Amino acid sequence: MQGSSIFNFDASFAALELGTFASLFLLGVATLQAWNVRGELAQSLTAPQPTRSAHSTFAIFQMIDSISESCAADFFHSMMFAHTVHFYTRAGFRDDANLIKTVWSLEFSLLVEAFIIMTSYLGMRVLHVTQNMVLATGIWILAVVRMGFTISITVLAVNHGTLAVADTETFKWQAVLEVSIAAFTDVCTALALCIGLLIRRAGFERSDRLIDRLVAFTTGKLWPSHQSHIYRTAGVVPNHEGEFVSPKIFSNSLFASLNQRPSNRRILLERSLRSGSTHLAFHVPEPRDESQDFQLIPTSTETDKAVPLIGYPTPPRPST
């Protein structure tokens, strides 16, 4: 027992807490989205083309939309999770009465997640790529249903007031269904984008871009499935409520990969060219004049006779 009193719990949890804070902020989808849009804006501003003003205006509006909606919501979401980690690791350590309570930042984080409009942004992208209003409307409907379940879970957690709400049957089936809908939406969104891009492929110049989308589809398909597995495990196995926070780590799925900057694609293209390639060049002969195939050339001894010679023009006759 003496060793327990000497051990500094604050120092031991400090590194874990700082690492968790960094991962929450750096692994956000909106953070990478805003960075990619910033790169597109810088490229548009420096592009020497007549339509630079139009491209710059579009990029500025795109950045404002990304930061004001998606990035702001994700940043606030990460802040709430950071406070939750601080409360359950250091502030409420060895205080059973506080640890059993649902901290206010955890309740707010659940509510903020319901209003993250990333799915609506991807619905607009699906509509732009596929030109199919049915697919885009389906994605928006799934986003609204997911938002409804998230708000219901938040209200249930606030009314209960303790972490024991995770043991209730209502919370379990709502949480599992909400994450399952999110996983299904991610897979459908990625599949629609990949099919739309595949149909619109025009040549070899876009093959690297298509490969990026297919890799992004694989990433977006695996992480939501793992996310659903975590929720189902936490809902079935008792005393695993801490598993509910871990899906936040996997929020950086296909959505950040779908907005790859052109510079990354150029780097991949340069690497593929340096790896080795064979260029074949075929010589095309110039068209020949068939009228010169049969010409008469005079002999050295006779000027009135001529010998047919193929392929050579006739020299002029000597003057007499």
- Predicted confidence at residue 49, as pLDDT, reads 46
- Model confidence pLDDT, tens digit, residues 51-74: 444 444 444 454 455 445 555 666
Please, which pLDDT band fits residue 249 given cuts at 50, 70 and 90? Answer: very low
**C-beta separation of 247 from 289 below 8 A:** no
- Predicted confidence at residue 313, as pLDDT, reads 53
Every domain of the chain and the residues it spans: 8-274
Q: Bigger pLDDT: 158 or 267?
A: 158
Query: What is the percent of the chain with per-residue pLDDT over 70, rounded to a whole number?
Result: 29
Question: Cα dist. 204→208, 209, 211, 272 in Å?
Answer: 8, 10, 11, 13
Average pLDDT over all residues of the chain = 62
The average pLDDT across 213-237 equals 55
Q: Please state at what angle helix 133-160 crosses helix 104-114, rounded to 10 degrees.
A: 160
**C-beta separation of 239 from 287 below 8 A:** no
Please, which pLDDT band fits residue 213 given cuts at 50, 70 and 90? Answer: low
The average pLDDT across 216-221 equals 53
**8-state DSSP, 277:** -
**C-beta separation of 306 from 288 below 8 A:** no
Checking if the pLDDT of 117 tops 60, the result is: no
- Predicted confidence at residue 123, as pLDDT, reads 75
- Predicted confidence at residue 135, as pLDDT, reads 84
The average pLDDT across 298-305 equals 49
pTM listed for this prediction: 0.47
- Model confidence pLDDT, tens digit, residues 151-208: 888 788 778 777 777 778 888 788 788 777 877 877 787 777 777 766 766 665 556 6
**Rg of the Cα atoms in the chain:** 34
Per-residue HEC secondary structure of 16-70 comes to HHHHHHHHHHHCCHHHHHHHHHHHHHHHHHCCCCCCHHHHHHHHHHHHHHHHHHH
- Predicted confidence at residue 63, as pLDDT, reads 47
Query: What is the percent of the chain with per-residue pLDDT over 90, rounded to a whole number?
Result: 0
The H-assigned helical ranges of the chain are: 2-6, 9-26, 29-45, 52-65, 72-86, 96-99, 104-114, 118-130, 133-160, 169-199, 207-236, 254-257, 262-274
- 259 closest CA partner among 22, 38, 17, 99: 38
The average pLDDT across 270-297 equals 54
- Predicted confidence at residue 147, as pLDDT, reads 79
Q: Bigger pLDDT: 95 or 282?
A: 95
- Model confidence pLDDT, tens digit, residues 32-48: 555 555 554 455 445 44
Q: Bigger pLDDT: 117 or 165?
A: 165
Backbone angles phi, psi at 239, to 5 degrees: 60, 35
